[in-house]
Amino acid sequence: MSEVMDYSSRLTDPHSRKFETFSYLPRMTADQIRRQVEFIVSKGWNPAIEHTEPEEATGSFWYMWKLPMFGETNVDKILNEAQLCHNLNPNHHVRLIGYDNYRQSQGASMVIYRAPGFE
């Protein structure tokens, strides 16, 4: 059996904070981000993009990038909006959300672009 290790996340160190499942993994590649968008579209979920300052990433309020893309199925359009948000907010984390209309909740939520210095 493997040894359980302590994870050194501290409130006093913003670089050590984790804010969602994928943040424990290395940054996603462009292909991995595309596959996540394809998954959201395949489920019929409405994509949305949000961004925030790294020190606020653990809070419940993130800035909405435009409105959710209701009914959008073009993966390239969704990726272009995410890239535009990242380009205009280079020091923010940017996350992709898939809203599930049937369950009235988020079916997916992941940070796809991290601010510089946050691995």
> In CATH, what is the architecture of 25-113?
2-Layer Sandwich (3.30)
Confirm if 47 and 34 have CB atoms less than 8 A apart: no
Grade residue 12 by pLDDT with cuts at 50, 70 and 90: confident
pTM: 0.85
Quick one: what percent of the chain has pLDDT higher than 90? 66
Above pLDDT 70, what percent of the chain?
Answer: 90
Per-state percent for the chain, helix, strand, coil, to nearest 5: 30, 25, 45
pLDDT confidence of residue 27: 85
The chain-wide mean pLDDT, for the chain, equals 89
Per the CB < 8 A criterion, the answer to whether 50 and 106 are in contact is: no
Are 49 and 94 in contact, with CB atoms under 8 Å apart? Answer: yes
pLDDT of residue 106: 94
Residue 81: what residue type?
E
Query: Cα separation of 79 and 32, whole Å?
Result: 12
